[in-house]
Amino acid sequence: MLSHTLRRGTLALATLVALPTAASAAEWGDISGRFVYGGDAPVAAKLTIDKDVDVCGKHNLVNEELVIGPNKGVANVVVFVRDRKIDVHPDLKATEPVVLDNLNCRFSPHVVFVQTGQDLIIKNSDPVGHNSNVATLKNPASNTLIPASGETKVSFRSDEAVPAAVTCNIHPWMKGWVVVRDNPYAAVTDEEGNFTIKSLPEGEVELQFWHEKAGYLDSIVINGKKTDVKRGRMDVDVSAKGTDLGEMVLDSSVFK
Amino acid sequence: MTHFLPFLVTAMNRHSTFMCRNRFSLSPVALVLTVCGSLLFVSGCGKTPAASFRPNMVEAAKQRLKPEQEEQVATILEAMFGTPDNPIAMPETGLDIGKLRLAAGPVHSDIVGRKNGLFREHCSHCHGVTGDGMGPTAAFLNPYPRDYRPGWFKFKSTERADKPTHGDLVTILNNGIYGTSMPSFELLGEAKVDALVEYVKYLSMRGEAELNMMRYFFELDDEDEGKLPETRDFLVEEILLPVAERWQEAEDAVIEVPEMPEVDLAESIAMGKELFYGNKANCVKCHGVTALGDGQANDYDDWNKVVKQWSDEVQSSHEVSTKEMSREEKAEHREYLARADKALAGDALEPRTIQPRNLRQAIYRGGRRPIDFYYRIHAGINGAPMPAAAGTLTPDEIWHVVNYIRSLPYEFDGELGADRSMVARDRL
């Protein structure tokens, strides 16, 4: 394991060094927006808990494929910048590892964003053992045993075009997602449906929207008009004053 | 091939067979003659079509590729890897074309009387000409034969996500896989086994390159107009090397196995038992309190999971109401479903759940040497739900679990040290 991690680490480092990281944009701005559910919010189905019932059974776990917040915000929409070569703001250097917790027999947070070369620490705060099976496509997939209060470290060589599912083979209802990008410009919406991507270089960027139940969000109601967003991609102008995309409504049919 | 990639032709000329070279230098008439001639040699001109690789229909339908995109993938694959009769080894793959030629093609003897076409003679019945695990006998076997295309291999000396070493695959071919339909091929002799292993690596690289390309269409920019760039840089850097390099890295990535700790065997078995049932190693969750492999009965291995999840998805798409769709959307929806159904019927085997190993039977697919157990527990089993214990268990603890598992078919009844052994048959 050690030699393996080292080898992977070295490679990741080499990739980092090779990347154009020079910050040359003159001005920086944020992009924000909000995803809203169009229609009556469905009631999340209760999960059947048939493993470690005494521990996992007491948390009233529900299916988290589609989480609609109290104000109809669509949570867990992934927003990321597609542009491969993008100037990165000097304050955004990722140094701290990202943590994905096995907590109350679910993944917390449900969707986690990590950059290439950054460590993802998968820990287990539950009194029962878990394993975390990360089904990446471009990176070698990993599946590690994580005992109660244990943790494991995963890092990624290259970005993933589609978020990768994380599952636990011991508790089959558990599912989470890892978004792997090679720049800091990605965000996941909160329960209100809000997202903000901070300090992008001024000018045009291409955003992509993704949700686990819908895939790429290619049909969004903007200003009351159903808009085709080809493959969930949208060109957006970043201004130093900040760019607000406003309310974007996702029809219930998007999630079928 | 109607159009081919100029940069690759050089590679083909350098690395392909004599016949293949002819294809690009002779006139069309001569070309027809050559191809006909070679067919005549095999089975009579025009009677049997030359063997061809099957496209990965499930992935193509899943990615909703257009017919011209599927065609582009097939064309690039042929330029990179050749055909079942004429394999190509691009230098980046590190594959030995001499070995590939011995394994590829129809079964025949060459000019010095050496037998060729080994893969088709010994392997393709189960693993298929394409190495997709869907040869004619595949559906009748349990477990299904291995599909090499995703590049996952279970029984090896490397870390979970790494490729196997050449030696790992040689071991599998020599020993077979106990408890499955995979027999031993040791009697073929070293050279032939070696050639077959090289060919398995070739089919796996080809299959993974195909997957990479099919998945890449979604990443294309609008200005690519739905076509993969046919430049050497792109195809080598983005498609081929990510696969080939990992095969090469595997050779130096063998797990270091420390000596078994010097403790009394009975003591080690007792500690292993504690770990097995405890919350740290947690073996009991899947292998069951009885260790009969009855703890987790409804999981799938990764090969079956791909098919299972997608067929569920297709099934729910069948149930979506088309009422509010425009005529165009309806047609697109119907076409997608028809294609998905066809792919699932023609390019996938009925998904089966995976059973955790019954540890009382002394049937160990990945080998019965203590070191084989060590590898399995340290790294887990790639493609299967079995996770890696390295980092969670110390090497000594892994050895204790190994010792306990090896004792399970003959587990002492009553106190440890008592001499009444129990065979698996009695316990069952």
pLDDT, residue B325, reads 84
Tell me the residue range of the domain where A192 lies. 2-255
- Residue A239, judged by CB atoms within 10 A of its CB (0-12, 13-18, 19+), counts as middle
- Sign, Cα dihedral of B353, B358, B364, B366: positive
Length of chain B (residues): 428
pLDDT, residue A101, reads 98
Q: What is the pLDDT of residues B45-93, one digit of tens each?
A: 455 678 999 999 999 999 999 999 999 999 999 999 999 999 999 999 9
Please give the span between the terminal C-alpha atoms of chain B, in angstroms, as a whole number: 58
Whole-number Å distance between alpha carbons of A218 and A210? 9
Closest residue in chain A to residue B239, using alpha carbons only: A138
pLDDT, residue B7, reads 47
The three-class DSSP label of residue A226 is strand
Question: What number is the average pLDDT over the span B330-350?
Answer: 93
Contact A209, A232 (CB under 8 A): yes
Number of A:B CB contacts under 8 A? 89
Cβ–Cβ below 8 Å for B215 and A143 = no
Closest residue in chain B to residue A127, using alpha carbons only: B279
Whole-number Å distance between alpha carbons of B197 and B288? 36
Who contacts B49 (Cβ-Cβ below 8 Å, separation ≥6)?
none
By a Cβ cutoff of 8 Å, what residues of chain B touch chain A?
159-162, 215, 218-219, 222, 242, 246, 249, 253, 256, 279-282, 285-286, 296, 298-299, 302, 320, 324, 378, 380, 382, 385-393
User: Which has the higher per-residue pLDDT, B64 or B14?
Assistant: B64
Q: Count the domains in chain A.
A: 1
pLDDT over 90 at B420, yes or no: no
Cβ–Cβ below 8 Å for B162 and A133 = no
User: Which has the higher per-residue pLDDT, B15 or B237?
Assistant: B237
Contact A45, A63 (CB under 8 A): yes
Is A161 part of the contact surface with chain B (CB cutoff 8 Å)? yes
Q: What is the dihedral of CA A49, A52, A58, A62, to 10 degrees?
A: -30
Question: What number is the average pLDDT over the span B345-360?
Answer: 94
Q: What is the pLDDT of residues A128-143, one digit of tens each?
A: 999 999 999 999 889 9
Tell me the two tokens of residue A71.
Answer: 């104000």
User: Which has the higher per-residue pLDDT, A154 or A12?
Assistant: A154
Contact B401, B281 (CB under 8 A): yes
Across all residues in chain B, what is the average pLDDT? 87
Q: How is chain B split into domains, by residue range?
A: 49-250, 265-299+354-427, 305-318+327-352
Report the amino acid identity of residue A190.
Answer: D
pLDDT, residue B42, reads 46
Is A6 part of the contact surface with chain B (CB cutoff 8 Å)? no
Looking at CA atoms only, how far is residue B387 from chain A in angstroms? 5
Residue in the block written with tokens 């599909």: B147
Of B248, B256, B90, B257, the residue nearest B163 (C-alpha) = B248
pLDDT, residue A176, reads 98
* Cis before B136? omega within 30: no
pLDDT, residue A94, reads 74
Least confident of A69-83, A237-251, B3-17, B156-170: B3-17
- Chain B residues touching residue A148 (CB < 8 angstroms): 279-280
User: Which has the higher per-residue pLDDT, B170 or A140?
Assistant: B170
Q: What is the pLDDT of residues B27-46, one digit of tens each?
A: 444 444 444 444 444 444 45
Residue in the block written with tokens 């392909």: B16
pLDDT, residue B123, reads 98
**What ipTM was assigned to the predicted interfaces of this complex?**
0.83
**pLDDT confidence tier of residue B17, bands split at 50, 70 and 90:** very low
Would you tell me how many other CB atoms lie within 10 Å of the CB of residue A224? Answer: 7
Cβ–Cβ below 8 Å for B282 and A150 = no
**pLDDT confidence tier of residue B426, bands split at 50, 70 and 90:** low
- Chain B residues touching residue A162 (CB < 8 angstroms): 218
CATH of the domain at A195: 2.60.40.420
Q: What angle do CA B367, B136, B209 make, to 5 degrees?
A: 70
Is A240 part of the contact surface with chain B (CB cutoff 8 Å)? no
Partner-chain residue, chosen from B296, B302, B391, that has the shortest CB–CB distance to A1: B391
User: Which has the higher per-residue pLDDT, B171 or B111?
Assistant: B171
Against a cut of 0.90, is the pTM above it?
A: no
Whole-number Å distance between alpha carbons of A83 and A199? 15
Q: Does domain B265-299+354-427 have CATH number 3.40.50.1970?
A: no
Q: What is the pLDDT of residues A53-92, one digit of tens each?
A: 999 999 999 999 999 998 999 999 999 999 888 999 999 9
Who contacts A182 (Cβ-Cβ below 8 Å, separation ≥6)?
A15, A19, A84, A115, A116, A158, A159
pLDDT, residue A202, reads 94
Q: What is the pLDDT of residues A93-126, one digit of tens each?
A: 877 999 999 999 999 999 999 999 999 999 999 9
Q: What is the pLDDT of residues B193-219, one digit of tens each?
A: 999 999 999 999 999 999 999 999 998
DSSP-derived secondary structure for A179-195: EEESSS-EEE--TTSEE
CA distances from B303 to B58, B202, B313, B328, B384 (A): 12, 19, 16, 34, 9
Question: What number is the average pLDDT over the span B234-254?
Answer: 95
Q: What is the pLDDT of residues A2-56, one digit of tens each?
A: 444 444 444 444 444 444 445 566 799 999 999 999 999 999 999 999 999 999 9
DSSP-derived secondary structure for B112-136: TS-EE-HHHHHTHHHH-TTSSS--T
- Chain A residues touching residue B222 (CB < 8 angstroms): 230
